[in-house]
Amino acid sequence: MSMVEINFDGIVGPSHNYAGLSLGNIASASHAGEPSYPRAAALQGVAKMRGNLARLGVQGFLLPLPRPNVGLQKAFALDGTELPQLRAAAWSASSMWTANAATVSPAPDTADGRCHLTPANLVTMPHRAQECQDTKAQLSLAFGDTRHFVIHDAVPPSFGDEGAANHMRLCESHDAPGVEVFVYGRTGGRFPARQHEQASRIVARAHGLNPQRTVFIEQNPDAIAAGAFHNDVVAVANGPVLFTHAESFADQQGAYDAIRAAFPALEVVEVPSSAVTVQEAIRTYLFNAQLLTLPDGTMALIVPDECQDSPSVWGWCEDMVAGNGPIRSVIPVDVRQSMANGGGPACLRLRVVCDPATVDPRFLLDDTKADLIERVIANNWPEQIDPSDLGSPRLTTAVIAARSALLDALDLGQLG
Ligand code: SUG
């Protein structure tokens, strides 16, 4: 097989919970304190992977990181008097959102002809900043073949880097040279702007991107204030297509012009505010979709079920499919457990364009492995977690044992 796009989904960890840790993420705030269902969450994720495996013939995954994070618990000097959010941070299963694992520049885009990955430092939120070292270790294993991959160190603080969630790639085909678009926010608004311009520029230089084929654009501060904490909440790109809300960028037309100057074949599919308000787009995660090129060359949009429940969003999708634009089908998936923490179908995957034969096969899915993963989840993942359970010795034992069972089943004990 030659170079293809592989989606590496994060398997939802056994400590998945709703602690309301992400300021500016409306779903996380509004579900804070509710019980979570880690087993159902992880099975929803595997079902999504199975669907895409059937559609595309290739699918990868990344494993949950060790939780509770004992190092972080020590660093926070927890003694029972701390804020509950600090206690919860060490339990966060947030590494499931692998769109935030790294920024990826495929081999055709880089000066040395290798695929470059920079783990995201995620410094804006303490529960996410703890992911970076373990993520780097895992990426170094999955993409350990240094003839084909380069794994960088994360961008140093205090420049915030959120990885692929603020990065898009336009190309004629996945294996052709692309134009990489970095989308950053400007600080000073009501909610944190997590992606800093200088972090984006550091990643672009480290990856050896051609400046003529690299574009930096600013997120719309009003969209961040409305809850678009990452660019991928309001825009997604695939091949030559940019699917975006009309209020995604600080200068919407200027953004299209800048991208088109580097990539004249750009096809914009814009959803106007009159059809879907930015608030409704954020509530339903219409744009946090996987825009896939199917084997027959057409494009499908994998959206959360919530889109189908929204008359304005679903009406717009039906009209789009009835027209003659590049996106020919819209397929809803149930990822409600992840959605309640602000993570839709696109948050749950990291896209890597490469030859699957160059990836450590332990990270690639097939039907037999999907059966195995489902069995381990069904037998080991807690059915329910109430926020007050976090820290209990019983849950600690259960969560550690569940992850170990998965690592053992997949022969990945070395991530222990
Ligand atoms: O960083 N939620 C994640 C959601 C990440 C979504 N990713 C992308 N858009 N690519 C975040 O805000 C919630 C955790 C909590 O509240 O317990 C959380 O971290």
pLDDT digit string, tens, across residues 199-244: 999 999 999 999 999 999 999 999 999 999 999 999 999 999 999 9
- SS3 at position 303: strand
Whether 347 contacts 41, CB under 8 Å: no
Q: What is the pLDDT of residues 26-81, one digit of tens each?
A: 999 999 999 999 999 999 999 999 999 999 999 999 999 999 999 999 999 999 99
Quote the mean pLDDT of the chain. Answer: 98
- The pLDDT assigned to 196 comes to 98
- Residue 115 designated active-site: no
Over residues 397-410, mean pLDDT = 98
Supply the pLDDT for residue 1: 59
User: pLDDT above 70 covers what percent of the chain?
Assistant: 100
Whether the model clears a pTM of 0.85, i.e. scores above it, the answer is yes
Report how far ligand 1's centroid is from the alpha carbon of 12 (Å): 12
Strand partners, 326: none
pLDDT reported for residue 31: 98
CA 70 to chain centroid, in Å, comes to 25
Active site residue 383: no
Residue 27 has a pLDDT of: 98
C-alpha of residue 97 to centroid of ligand 1, in Å? 7
pLDDT band at 97 (very low <50, low <70, confident <90, very high): very high
**Pocket lining: 241 vs ligand 1, CB cutoff 6 Å:** no
351: helix, strand or coil: strand
Q: How confident is the model at residue 310 (pLDDT cuts 50, 70, 90)?
A: very high
Question: What residue owns the CA closest to ligand 1's atom 12?
Answer: 22
Using an 8 Å Cβ cutoff, are 307 and 317 in contact?
A: yes
Range of the domain at 360: 4-415
SS3 content of the chain, % helix, strand, coil (to 5): 40, 20, 40
The count of domains in the chain is 1
Phi, psi of 304 (to 5 degrees): -70, 150
> From the CA of 190, how far away is ligand 1's center (Å)?
17
Average pLDDT over residues 13-32: 98
How many residues make up the chain in this entry?
Answer: 416
Q: Is 197 a catalytic residue?
A: no
Here the tokens at position 40 are 């159902």
Q: What is the pLDDT of residue 20?
A: 97
Ligand 1 pocket check for 94: Cβ under 6 Å: yes
Instruction: pLDDT band for 186, please (50, 70, 90 cuts).
Output: very high
Q: How many angstroms separate the Cα of 148 from the Cα of each of 117, 142, 144, 360, 406?
A: 11, 12, 8, 12, 28
Distance CA 42, CA 373 (A): 9
- Indicate which residue of 162, 247, 280, 306 is catalytic: 162
Q: Is the dihedral of CA 367, 103, 404, 336 positive or negative?
A: negative
The residues pairing with 110 across neighbouring beta strands, listed in sequence order, are 209
End-to-end Cα spacing for the chain: 31
Query: How are strands ordered across the β-sheet holding 214-218?
Result: 167-170, 179-184, 214-218
Question: Does the beta carbon of 100 lie inside 6 Å of ligand 1?
Answer: yes
Q: What is the DSSP string of 177-243?
A: --EEEEEE--S-SSS---S-HHHHHHHHHHTTB-GGGEEEEEBPHHHHHHT--SGGGTEEEETTEEE
Contact 285, 303 (CB under 8 A): yes
Exposure of 214 by Cβ count < 10 A (0-12 exposed, 13-18 middle, 19+ buried)?
Answer: buried
pLDDT digits (tens, 9 = 90+) for 259-297: 999 999 999 999 999 999 999 999 999 999 999 999 999
Token representation of residue 181: 């678009």
> Residue 342 region, left (φ>0) first, then alpha (ψ -120 to 50), else beta?
left
Cβ of 92 closer than 6 Å to ligand 1, yes or no, is: yes
Interval 95-120 mean pLDDT = 99
| pLDDT for residue 127 | 98
CATH for 168: 3.75.10.20
Q: What is the pLDDT of residue 315?
A: 98
C-alpha 406 to ligand 1 mean position (Å): 23
